Structure 1
């Protein structure tokens, strides 16, 4: 089939790119529908064995499918440019270019751009972008922003380059298009991927992600810190590993690729997910489309109560047993079309593509539909039964997800989870250095601390630009200091390696070209604590050293004339001044926890670990806000919150529209929560009835200036994610029968069986 469709070259070019990557020792993940091909597996393009997962080649490629094949290949974000340079050099810069794309106005960009037009300040622009429309101010300017925003939605905003799609042409690419040369330096064609496909080009998707970067860096750190070589590319090491499965079932997956979000951790706990195949299913049903169809709710029910439903038909039991008779995967649509309807796999794929909106020929769909019903009749199925099966295909084919894609994700999830389980400190430092994933840096620092790390602020004699690990000591990197130039953050460790540790503040200033502002940042974060002097003393000393010196003559003067030591009066500091310095400079506390800064001594009546024992009970908790996710419902916007209690454990809350009106979120910080616990399939969630933000102590650095005592408090962060989708269906709206349908039933009987 590959040869007949003339795609051998596409396979071989992809293999050549992967071979080069492997020769450099780089890690890649091959995913997409290409993982349905055992040839791709044998060539090393993918790590997914199609036989193990019963994947269908026809989902990837068949004689009826004229569109090019699809390999999505991920590298670390640090390695992607190396691969791109190889492709452009290997196949010639006259023959290679990126696809173009048209960027459309979306929810946040519309409000930001229009808000600027109407002269709104940054605070109001942020409020428009972060909050759902129903919570925007009701003034005349915002009404105009809404009015024009609706007109602009999905309107072209600007031309750009495709994030990953590369075209390789046999003829010079300029035979087909003029090229644009953006600042990044890679040429772009002036048409998009659909036009490229119509012309006859095959697109190579060269992607990058931070998950692979975290895995790569963790493996290097393990070697440096422990002298152990971990062959993480050997998937048999991590996939379905026993302890990893225990962590999975408890949702202890923060930092791990694709399985760390609050929704995914909740799903893993509801499923008690403890094996590879269940993780593959979870990676699919968490997708917005699958959840939107109601299949996620039905899958959770059937997984937990396998004795409380019957398979719709014997074919569903035989071929969809792994997913309890639900068409979770796109491959499942092909299976039912083949084994129930008697179609070929190629025709089943036409049906799937047409249902998902990707099929372009209505005539082809009608032909396959006619064949489906004719074949069902020939197989002896009643018309009512055939129509119900077709209705299910029609309902779910557009929402289902590619199984090979989910399987590829699951393999990478296991690789990162294995490193988290057995080498937690190295893994969390790697995640921090790769700028994390779903959460802000503070959460990953918290995870490292919970795993036994001692977290230390940057130090000029121990820190690098990135975060470093010495035994159990984690030194935060200079990259986290707000206001410190990255060039300076990189220069400090380079100079130390060339000429040895810094012996004093004076020695540091002599060797590093630096101004008073940058020195103050380093002093306030404690980077000179090795001197034994307190921050106030160091600040005075720094000013004395720098006040009369200009950058161009500092080195000369300091070398000729040693600085006098001055006897300074005792300058006392509050123990919490350091914490407020940390919030201002790195965004979170290191020397204490946020709970230590609260005015109240109350720490809640129930801890997160005990919530599962309080089903239907009311609880009062005190917690630190990590993230909140906006979710639309039929009654208005609601939020799901993720929190940490004083013991450092996570729990989740639900905030419904009527509650949010009276008790809205008021930014990052600690809140007192009152709510009712609902344990849903082993996973406790608190439905919030009341909540109040708890005040922190005034900033002791400004005890003399009452107007600034609470300025830094506003810098305490929260992660907010907005969702613009239709509400998920209720159980009665899903439309999946939980009872077996006999051949003699009529359609009324069928519909009565739908729960």
Structure 2
């Protein structure tokens, strides 16, 4: 009887999770209902799937609105009707057209218009009018023919009347207004609450024809959907037989290139994998991935292949990945096992500059009707909903910040805060807020995408599904992840800069040679990895130094133990301890020694869950893989975890494993809830890290220039400029005669790019570069004549030092700039309306070469670049007294209190097990050497970070595996000399 049910996917309107809606419908006596969320079909297949599990007749549709105005409700007669509704909505979303007031002519869908007293439109056979209980008195005198077109319309937007308040708050959030400003037309009615079926029928009992009409409409609807089959494109060549032959040919060709024709072990593995791939029907998935890689290679795009597919020798032979599974003994069953129903994951990383073109190719190659980016649901995470609700109650920002940061403060004890917190407690977990876009997931389907969902057109500019990766997986899709990262851009551009600057061609794909490079491994062991993807963070550099990592296999392990799953469980330190003393520990159980000897009995990879779940816990490979997926956070079916846990503990008890050992093994497995890596994933990152290390070790200036041009990495851009200087480069401020849009390298001279100058307009940059093609600028007057800058743009260029080639001080140039532009304006007025063959020369009176202080350069550069090139911040300290020791001396003070002065680089907040906030800091000393600090909660609260600057830090030096850090006891930001520009440039105000 219910043709208009909303879930919380009616964003900022509905309040009901899908499962809760179905459970409530059954509890209230219904056997059929239609899910019709507002302008989306996000939850329809999730609804149908859960209805089927509960034995409920779920149907699908869409409620169409224009703004707040309800136009009509579309109900799918069948699967074809669902697709028609999705296509109709998709067309308007993709073309940016408003939804029309008249419903379209669709053969397999019904439309219900809301009742209006003055309604007189002619209805098609598939169109009806929905009437609410409170409107029934208005049709008593209407003709019988009219009543035969009426159906029950009792919208459901919340389960209980108390949720109406939440609904109103959501509507106020959506309209960005105060709750008191919300108008009735902007929200649903108070009676959009779920009634029991007997209550609903009794309301319409005086109009039995309406009840009959509604029943007949719903009886004509049937939603059959097969959740068991893979929805991805089924064939690459047009039939599965040719797919198998093509994949076999490509794999064998690749085997010869990768391994040589004499490697029979590799050949057997290729043939084994091909048999499993064919049997499970995954040949097309591999071929599509290969096709994307082939195209990107043709275009000269670098890539890194990751995901469980990287465990595959076939993927290695197809050059999807550069990780050899045989070299690393990658676990085959992590990649594919005979019970696996979905293809393995392929995550393909491209440079952020190249990825959009790869997307365009995929859409063009496989068709826009069959291709879509994967959507994502942005939720009201953690306390963000508190902030949003507080806004609609009119709380000032300061009070909202206090409520978020210090919820227990006595100042938060008032009626408004009580209302806000009551709403917060009412919200289900992961309550949707807005539809967004997945980081890089792409779906390529056999049927049109609209057979499953409607599409949006977000700012990315490509059709995007309205459901997320979880629903896609539940209905039988496997995504292809086309991701971007700056690390690949660093590598690609560094190779180009080396070719330009040194006329050398560098092959960063000669991975075997790079792995054995003595200089590269020494660079790795030193922990000097700034700019190198994935291994440049303070935590990662710390792990490299603790491990004294100097080879590829150790880096693979290091790339995984740094992840939260291993790190938070205490197993990271245990691994490092065992690594340095491989014979000084006892394995927890012989099976762990047998399966995990490579990692000294410590589970650090996702495959380890698979191995231990299978060999120790007796799980079959299918259950072990489900366990791995659950623990890695990639599956919402957490209820399955308890079932598998019972199997695991049951088997362990049956075979006589010690209960304490079983519990400890499970605890270690649970640590992987922190998104630990698969070994193949770590290996892929390690390959890329080695490529970056190779460039940094042999071509450090070119490499750092590339990092700067790709907008840095983990750190702010100024740090990479500092690293380039440490590598031997001379850092030059932007110059109108040498700089380009991006930072440019000439020999060892780095000229910072114009794109780094704050407020410098693109048009001004283009003019400079165009005019310079003819000849370099010879003077300020020449520059002004040829580029015709406005005063503001000219002053920016002077202040940043871009006209220093003139040999004049900034102050003189600033005076001249004002005089020149005034003179130019006067000249233009003098010759107004005249056609001149030659531009008259600009003449200026002689201007003294005013003195200029270095402190002024520092503040100019800080203002316009965000950092200073001319002067170190340490030289601007008001006092050079009591600056303390240097990093080079830290190990000599292990366990002792020290004072040290450092330039702030970065910090990371985290929470202790008690929920208190602490932090880790990273600083540079006066020699440019890094040191790390630990700020426990009581210190962090008393001595907070005050953004950038130089700090005097007092604390105790602690060491871990020879790596020093400072446990902070007190910290203060040191004052620097004041900005002299205001006094100098405005003497009358001094």
TM-score normalized with structure 1 length: 0.86
What corresponds to 1:476 in structure 2? 752
Do the aligned partners of 1:285 and 1:291 also contact (CA within 8 Å) in 2?
A: yes
The 5 A counterparts of 1:318-357 are: 318-340=594-616, 345-356=621-632
Aligned partners of 1:260, 1:598: CA distance in 2, in Å? 29
Closer, same or farther in 2 for the Cα pair 1:356/1:27, shift >3 Å? Answer: closer
Closer, same or farther in 2 for the Cα pair 1:591/1:361, shift >3 Å? Answer: closer
What corresponds to 2:973 in structure 1? 693
Matched, 1:409 2:664: no
Q: CA deviation at 1:94?
A: 2.5
* SS across alignment from 1:401: coil
Matched, 1:156 2:432: yes
Aligned partners of 1:304, 1:190: CA distance in 2, in Å? 51
What corresponds to 1:187 in structure 2? 463
The 5 A counterparts of 1:73-152 are: 73-106=348-381, 133=406, 147=421
What corresponds to 2:73 in structure 1? none
Do the aligned partners of 2:588 and 2:661 also contact (CA within 8 Å) in 1?
A: no
Do the aligned partners of 2:809 and 2:849 also contact (CA within 8 Å) in 1?
A: no
* SS across alignment from 1:547: helix
Closer, same or farther in 2 for the Cα pair 1:121/1:393, shift >3 Å? Answer: closer
1:610 to 886, 889, 894: 889
* SS across alignment from 2:889: helix
Aligned partners of 2:598, 2:371: CA distance in 1, in Å? 43
2:484 to 189, 200, 208: 208
Do the aligned partners of 1:625 and 1:671 also contact (CA within 8 Å) in 2?
A: yes
What corresponds to 1:506 in structure 2? 781
What corresponds to 1:547 in structure 2? 822
Q: CA deviation at 1:660?
A: 2.9
Q: CA deviation at 1:179?
A: 2.3
Do the aligned partners of 2:878 and 2:975 also contact (CA within 8 Å) in 1?
A: yes
Do the aligned partners of 2:377 and 2:467 also contact (CA within 8 Å) in 1?
A: no
What corresponds to 1:51 in structure 2? 326
Aligned partners of 1:237, 1:135: CA distance in 2, in Å? 59
Aligned partners of 2:565, 2:525: CA distance in 1, in Å? 24
Aligned partners of 2:408, 2:873: CA distance in 1, in Å? 28
Do the aligned partners of 2:618 and 2:651 also contact (CA within 8 Å) in 1?
A: no
What corresponds to 2:498 in structure 1? 222
Closer, same or farther in 2 for the Cα pair 1:557/1:534, shift >3 Å? Answer: farther
Closer, same or farther in 2 for the Cα pair 1:325/1:17, shift >3 Å? Answer: same
2:798 to 512, 523, 530: 523
Do the aligned partners of 1:340 and 1:376 also contact (CA within 8 Å) in 2?
A: no
Q: CA deviation at 1:353?
A: 3.3
- Which segment drifts farther, 216-225 or 601-610? 601-610
Do the aligned partners of 1:76 and 1:213 also contact (CA within 8 Å) in 2?
A: yes
What corresponds to 1:177 in structure 2? 453
Kindly provide the CA deviation profile for residues 700-738 of structure 1, in whole angstroms up to 9, marking residues without a partner as x. Answer: 11236999999xxxxxxxxxxxxxxxxxxxxxxxxxxxx
Structure 1 unmatched ranges of 5 or more:
711-755
Do the aligned partners of 1:373 and 1:386 also contact (CA within 8 Å) in 2?
A: no
Closer, same or farther in 2 for the Cα pair 1:579/1:384, shift >3 Å? Answer: closer
1:251 to 527, 545, 548: 527
Kindly provide the CA deviation profile for residues 50-93 of structure 1, in whole angstroms up to 9, marking residues without a partner as x. Answer: 11111122212223222332100000001111211111111122
1:667 to 933, 947, 966: 947
Closer, same or farther in 2 for the Cα pair 1:295/1:600, shift >3 Å? Answer: same
Do the aligned partners of 1:75 and 1:212 also contact (CA within 8 Å) in 2?
A: yes
- Which segment drifts farther, 349-358 or 366-375? 366-375
Closer, same or farther in 2 for the Cα pair 1:582/1:702, shift >3 Å? Answer: same
Kindly provide the CA deviation profile for residues 237-260 of structure 1, in whole angstroms up to 9, marking residues without a partner as x. Answer: 322532222222221111110011
* SS across alignment from 1:29: strand
Closer, same or farther in 2 for the Cα pair 1:114/1:45, shift >3 Å? Answer: same
Q: CA deviation at 1:383?
A: 5.8
2:695 to 395, 419, 422: 419
Aligned partners of 2:617, 2:501: CA distance in 1, in Å? 58
Give the CA RMSD over aligned residues. 3.4
Aligned partners of 2:717, 2:390: CA distance in 1, in Å? 30
Aligned length: 705
What corresponds to 2:315 in structure 1? 40
Aligned partners of 2:454, 2:700: CA distance in 1, in Å? 50
Closer, same or farther in 2 for the Cα pair 1:113/1:383, shift >3 Å? Answer: closer
Closer, same or farther in 2 for the Cα pair 1:707/1:313, shift >3 Å? Answer: farther
What corresponds to 1:304 in structure 2? 580
Do the aligned partners of 1:132 and 1:637 also contact (CA within 8 Å) in 2?
A: no
Q: CA deviation at 1:138?
A: 5.7
Do the aligned partners of 1:290 and 1:328 also contact (CA within 8 Å) in 2?
A: yes
Q: CA deviation at 1:544?
A: 2.0
Closer, same or farther in 2 for the Cα pair 1:397/1:109, shift >3 Å? Answer: closer
Closer, same or farther in 2 for the Cα pair 1:287/1:370, shift >3 Å? Answer: closer
Structure 2 unmatched ranges of 5 or more:
1-275
Closer, same or farther in 2 for the Cα pair 1:494/1:603, shift >3 Å? Answer: farther
Aligned partners of 1:127, 1:452: CA distance in 2, in Å? 45
1:569 to 845, 848, 852: 848
Kindly provide the CA deviation profile for residues 30-64 of structure 1, in whole angstroms up to 9, marking residues without a partner as x. Answer: 00111111111111101111111111222122232
The 5 A counterparts of 1:640-719 are: 640-703=920-983
2:590 to 294, 314, 317: 314
Q: CA deviation at 1:530?
A: 0.7
Closer, same or farther in 2 for the Cα pair 1:107/1:366, shift >3 Å? Answer: closer
Aligned partners of 1:425, 1:695: CA distance in 2, in Å? 33
What corresponds to 2:512 in structure 1? 236
Q: CA deviation at 1:540?
A: 1.8
Closer, same or farther in 2 for the Cα pair 1:232/1:196, shift >3 Å? Answer: same
What corresponds to 1:486 in structure 2? 762
Aligned partners of 1:488, 1:431: CA distance in 2, in Å? 25
The 5 A counterparts of 1:424-443 are: 424-443=700-719
Q: CA deviation at 1:343?
A: 5.5
- Which segment drifts farther, 619-628 or 208-217? 619-628
Do the aligned partners of 1:64 and 1:347 also contact (CA within 8 Å) in 2?
A: no
Closer, same or farther in 2 for the Cα pair 1:361/1:536, shift >3 Å? Answer: closer
Matched, 1:631 2:913: no
What corresponds to 2:472 in structure 1? 196
TM-score normalized with structure 2 length: 0.66
Q: CA deviation at 1:563?
A: 0.9
Closer, same or farther in 2 for the Cα pair 1:348/1:140, shift >3 Å? Answer: closer
Kindly provide the CA deviation profile for residues 327-374 of structure 1, in whole angstroms up to 9, marking residues without a partner as x. Answer: 111111222344445665445324433555638496798479648855
Q: CA deviation at 1:133?
A: 5.0
Q: CA deviation at 1:512?
A: 2.1
Do the aligned partners of 2:487 and 2:533 also contact (CA within 8 Å) in 1?
A: yes
Matched, 1:453 2:729: yes
2:537 to 248, 261, 266: 261
What corresponds to 2:872 in structure 1? 593
* SS across alignment from 2:280: coil
Matched, 1:276 2:552: yes
Closer, same or farther in 2 for the Cα pair 1:195/1:440, shift >3 Å? Answer: same
